[in-house]
Structure 1
Amino acid sequence: MLTQHPDLHRELDPDGHERIWVSGRLAVRMFLLFAAAYMLSYAYRAINAVIAQPLVQELSLSAGQLGLLASAYFLAFAVMQLPVGVMLDRYGPRRVEAVLVCVAALGALVFAAADSFTGLWVGRALIGVGVSACLMAAIKAYSLYFKPHMQASMSSWMLTAGSLGALTVTTPVEALLPHLGWRGVFVASAVLCVASAASLWFAMPALFKPQKAESLSEMAAGFRTIFRHPHFWRVAPMATVLQGGFMAYQGLWVGPWFTDVVGLSNHQAAINMFWISAALMLGYLVVGTATRRMSKAGKDEDLILVVGMGLALAIFGVQLLLGKQSSLWVWLVHGLMTATSVMTYTTCNKPFSRHLTGRSSTALNLMIFVGAFSIQWGIGLGIDALMALGLGRADAMRGSLGLLLAGQVASWLWFIRPGRALSHLQMPVR
Structure 2
Amino acid sequence: MNTHNHPDISREVGPDGLEHLYVGGRLAMRMFGIFAAAYVLSYGFRAINAVIAQPLVQELGLSAAQLGLLASAYFLSFALMQLPVGVMLDRYGPRRVEAVLIGFAALGAIIFANAESFAWLWVGRALIGVGVSACLMAAVKAYSLYFRPHLQASLSSWMLVAGSMGALTVTTPVEAALPMLGWRGVFVVAAVLCVLAGFALWFALPTLFKPQKTESVKDMAQGYGAIFRHPHFWRVAPLAMITQGGFMAFHGLWVGPWFTNVIGLTNTQAAQNMFWISATLMAGYLVLGFITRTISKRGGDEDQIMLVGMGLSLVLFALQIAQGANATLWGWLLHALLIASGIMTYATCNKPFPKKLTGRSSTALNLLIFIGAFSIQWGIGIGIDAFTKLGWSYTDGMRASLAVLWALQLASWLWYARPGRKTSHLLPA
TM > 0.5 fold call:
yes
Residues 194-249 of structure 1: CA deviation (Å, up to 9, x unaligned):
11111111111122222206335522431111111111111111111111101100
- Report the more deviating stretch, 348-357 or 273-282: 348-357
Q: 1:143 maps to which residue?
A: 144
What is the deviation of 1:18?
A: 5.3
The question of whether the paired residues in 1 share the 8 Å contact of 2:310 and 2:341 is answered with: yes
Alpha-carbon distance change, 221 to 408 in structure 1, aligned in 2, over 3 angstroms: same
Q: 1:197 maps to which residue?
A: 198
- Report the more deviating stretch, 253-262 or 194-203: 194-203
Alpha-carbon distance change, 34 to 5 in structure 1, aligned in 2, over 3 angstroms: farther
Q: 1:412 maps to which residue?
A: 413
TM-score w.r.t. the length of structure 2 is 0.95
What is the deviation of 1:399?
A: 1.1
Q: 2:385 maps to which residue?
A: 384
The question of whether the paired residues in 2 share the 8 Å contact of 1:75 and 1:125 is answered with: yes
What is the deviation of 1:352?
A: 2.1
TM-score w.r.t. the length of structure 1 is 0.95
Q: 1:163 maps to which residue?
A: 164
What is the deviation of 1:361?
A: 1.1
Rounded to whole Å, the distance in 1 between the matches of 2:8 and 2:397 is 57
Unaligned 5+ runs, structure 2: none
Please tell me the root mean square deviation across aligned C-alpha atoms, in Å: 1.7
| % same residue | 69
- Report the more deviating stretch, 232-241 or 263-272: 232-241
Rounded to whole Å, the distance in 2 between the matches of 1:179 and 1:169 is 15
Q: 2:13 maps to which residue?
A: 13
Partner AA of 2:7 in structure 1: D
The question of whether the paired residues in 1 share the 8 Å contact of 2:144 and 2:358 is answered with: no
Residue 347 in 1 paired to residue 348 in 2?
A: yes
Residues 67-108 of structure 1: CA deviation (Å, up to 9, x unaligned):
000001011111111111111111111111111111100000
The question of whether the paired residues in 2 share the 8 Å contact of 1:10 and 1:18 is answered with: no
Residues 113-135 of structure 1: CA deviation (Å, up to 9, x unaligned):
11111101100000000000011
Rounded to whole Å, the distance in 2 between the matches of 1:267 and 1:184 is 18
Q: 1:133 maps to which residue?
A: 134
Aligned residue-pair number: 427
What is the deviation of 1:153?
A: 3.3
Rounded to whole Å, the distance in 2 between the matches of 1:349 and 1:393 is 41
- Report the more deviating stretch, 376-385 or 20-29: 20-29
What is the deviation of 1:382?
A: 0.4
Alpha-carbon distance change, 79 to 173 in structure 1, aligned in 2, over 3 angstroms: same
- Report the more deviating stretch, 144-153 or 239-248: 144-153
- Report the more deviating stretch, 263-272 or 412-421: 412-421
Rounded to whole Å, the distance in 1 between the matches of 2:283 and 2:48 is 20
The question of whether the paired residues in 2 share the 8 Å contact of 1:7 and 1:25 is answered with: no
Partner AA of 1:9 in structure 2: I
Alpha-carbon distance change, 147 to 98 in structure 1, aligned in 2, over 3 angstroms: same
Unaligned 5+ runs, structure 1: none
Residues 126-176 of structure 1: CA deviation (Å, up to 9, x unaligned):
000000001111121222222334333332221111111110000000000
Partner AA of 2:139 in structure 1: A
Residue 252 in 1 paired to residue 253 in 2?
A: yes
The question of whether the paired residues in 2 share the 8 Å contact of 1:104 and 1:190 is answered with: yes
What is the deviation of 1:190?
A: 0.2
Rounded to whole Å, the distance in 2 between the matches of 1:389 and 1:145 is 55
Partner AA of 1:157 in structure 2: W
SS at match of 1:95: helix
The question of whether the paired residues in 1 share the 8 Å contact of 2:150 and 2:297 is answered with: no
Q: How does 1:166-177 map to 2 (within 5 A)?
A: 166-177=167-178
Residues 16-74 of structure 1: CA deviation (Å, up to 9, x unaligned):
86543322222222111111100000000000000000001100000000000000101
Q: 1:319 maps to which residue?
A: 320
The question of whether the paired residues in 2 share the 8 Å contact of 1:46 and 1:169 is answered with: yes
Residue 116 in 1 paired to residue 121 in 2?
A: no
Q: How does 1:1-400 map to 2 (within 5 A)?
A: 1-3=1-3, 6-13=6-13, 19-212=20-213, 214-400=215-401
The question of whether the paired residues in 2 share the 8 Å contact of 1:100 and 1:133 is answered with: yes
Rounded to whole Å, the distance in 2 between the matches of 1:9 and 1:302 is 30
Rounded to whole Å, the distance in 1 between the matches of 2:373 and 2:54 is 21
> 4+ residue stretches of structure 1 with deviation over 6 A?
none
Rounded to whole Å, the distance in 1 between the matches of 2:89 and 2:311 is 34
Rounded to whole Å, the distance in 2 between the matches of 1:164 and 1:69 is 23
The question of whether the paired residues in 1 share the 8 Å contact of 2:10 and 2:23 is answered with: no
- Report the more deviating stretch, 297-306 or 154-163: 297-306
Partner AA of 1:368 in structure 2: I
Rounded to whole Å, the distance in 2 between the matches of 1:276 and 1:321 is 19
SS at match of 1:420: coil
- Report the more deviating stretch, 145-154 or 26-35: 145-154
Partner AA of 1:340 in structure 2: S
Alpha-carbon distance change, 345 to 174 in structure 1, aligned in 2, over 3 angstroms: same
What is the deviation of 1:110?
A: 0.5
The question of whether the paired residues in 1 share the 8 Å contact of 2:157 and 2:343 is answered with: no
Rounded to whole Å, the distance in 2 between the matches of 1:304 and 1:16 is 30
The question of whether the paired residues in 1 share the 8 Å contact of 2:82 and 2:367 is answered with: yes
Q: 1:429 maps to which residue?
A: 427
The question of whether the paired residues in 2 share the 8 Å contact of 1:7 and 1:26 is answered with: no
Alpha-carbon distance change, 338 to 317 in structure 1, aligned in 2, over 3 angstroms: same
Rounded to whole Å, the distance in 1 between the matches of 2:19 and 2:341 is 35
- Report the more deviating stretch, 217-226 or 179-188: 217-226
- Report the more deviating stretch, 393-402 or 329-338: 393-402
